[in-house]
Structures are given as structure tokens and as C-alpha cells.
Amino acid sequence: MAQYAPHELAQKLKDGLLSFPVTAFTPELAVDEDAYRQHLSWQASFDVAGLFAAGGTGEGFSLTPAEAAQVIRAAVEEVGTKVPVLASAGGSTAQAIQNAQDAEAAGAEGLLLLPPYLTECDQEGLLAHVSAVCSATSIGVIVYNRANAIYSADTVARLAERHPNFIGFKDAVGDIEHLTKVYARNGDRLFYLGGLPTAETFALPLLQLGMSTYSSALYNFVPEFALEFYGDVRRQDHAAVTEKLQRFVLPYLDIRDRVRGYGVSIVKGGLKVVGRDVGGVRPPLQNLTEADLTDLGALIDAAGIRPAPAALTNA
């Protein structure tokens, strides 16, 4: 049972940093629920506004429906009383509806609706797709503006008018004119979430377009740095943001950009480097090379942002 009504969830999420926890895997690439719960517990020990289970950084695209439900339920059970847990839905409309209903049954507070799978979409089709999902669940729904799902300002407004549980707009395109139209048309009816990779790079300029928060992949392995960065953004401290970009974020992007798909792999690599290993990535992604891991560890140390070692627990 969700703790927040959709409009309450939007208010909670819009003024704090958000993150998408990685999904832990065993060496055989099965879901490692124990390691996942330990990671979630650590993530929820900091002042984060919301955690999205089985999302993009959580390799939701590689999870079976049963695994996705398992991951979401584990997240709700482990940290749901401390921080809102949201899920994701994708694929066909029927599959997205099933994902949404499974997420609600597992106790998730809300849902990020990913673009429909591998098909071109126009506005009426997108409207029908999102409407079907919103109608199938009572929890809050956030659309993800990217790839083949580019929502016009009018479509967003129509969805907001039809569905009280439609609460948010996440953008991974960065089209300033488009974002201006969406925000001008819909205003405070929604909250706006930056989703470009790596989000810190774009956070300050997007704040001016109404995007008060963003999803930080870095939070997975350097949470204190990620929270400090978010604080600098919200204060519009240009000097502090630029210093952190130069000290860590931009060199980090250089490593991330060495291989296509490293956007997720480097997050799990970062966890391995800081002593909180949650396993590797599933194909078609590939793990960082040893040289890449060495470079990432050196960068974290040079930036002075290595988190405290994991506490020892009894087996």
C-alpha cells in the first residue's frame, strides 16, 4: 500500500536528489537479492528523495517481469519506510500495464514509464499508451521523454487533465525549446526531472527550465559527492558546480565514453572500486576493463571523494 498520494509523491520528489540503484547480480548473473538489499540500505542512509528500482541504471531492460517484481518488492521491504521506492514500466502497452500493476502490488509509490518498445509513435498513440497505463494503476506515473517517445506540450497537458496520477515529466533529450514549451504549458501541475546522462553535466542549465531535480547515477557509489553537487545546483552556485565538474564529473565522462553502454557499467565499476561490489552487468552490456577500473579508482582518489568503507557484517 503506497504511503503517498500521487500529488504528495510529486511534492516529495521535486525538491531532492533522485537515483536509480543498480541491480546486484551473482557471478552467474542471477539477481543477488542479499547484495541488492545491502546496497539499498546504504543508499537510503543518506538524504535522497527517491529511489527508482529496476530502472535504466538498474538494468531493468534485462530483467524478466518476475525478476523486476522481485527487485521492486525487495526494495520496498528493505527501504520503503525510509525513502519512496518507484518502479519502471516498459515494452508494449500490455507489458507496461502488467509492470505497473506488479509495481503497485509490490508497494511501489510510483512509476517511470519508459518509451514503447521498437516502434515509431505519434502523439495520439503516445496519449493512448500513457492513458492506458495511468488508468491501470493508482500510483503516480512519470513519463520518460526520450527515443521514440517525445511528448508534445499539448500531449502532456492532455494527460495531466485526464489523469490525476500523472505527476511527472523526465527528459533525456535536452531540447531547450521543447522543454520551455512543456513547462510553460503545464507549470506546477507536474514536476520535472532531468534524465540526460550523466545528469550532473546538465543540471544547472536545466534548473532554469523548471527541472528542479534529476536522477544521479553517481549517487550509487559516491553519494556524498552527488548530494553536495545537487546542493550546489539548487543554490545556483556556478563556481562550486564548475569546480566539481572539472574535478570529477568531466574526467569521469571521458572513461564512460570509451565504450558504448558504459553508462551503466561504469556505475557498477565505481561500486567495485570503492569496495561495495554488486557484480557485473548482463549482456549486451560489458564490464569495465581492468585498465578502466584502475583509471576510475585513481580518479575517485584524486578527486578526494572515496566513501567510507563498507561496515563488516556477520555472515
Which residues have a catalytic role annotated? Answer: 144, 170
Whole-number Å distance between alpha carbons of 112 and 118: 18
Range list of H helices, the chain: 6-14, 33-43, 65-79, 93-106, 123-136, 153-162, 176-186, 203-207, 223-234, 238-244, 250-256, 262-273, 290-303
Whole-number CA gyration radius for the chain: 18
Q: What is the 3-state secondary structure (H, E, C) of 169-219?
A: EEECCCCHHHHHHHHHHHHHHCEEEECCCCHHHCHHHHHCCCCCEEECCHH
Strands 50-52 and 18-19: parallel
- The DSSP code sequence of 53-94 is TTSTTTTGGGS-HHHHHHHHHHHHHHHTTTS-EEEEEEESHH
Q: Give the chain's end-to-end CA distance (angstroms, integer).
A: 32
Q: What are the φ and ψ backbone dihedral angles of 90, each rounded to 5 degrees?
A: -160, -170
Whole-number Å distance between alpha carbons of 78 and 209: 35
Side chain identity, residue 148: N
Contact 148, 177 (CB under 8 A): no
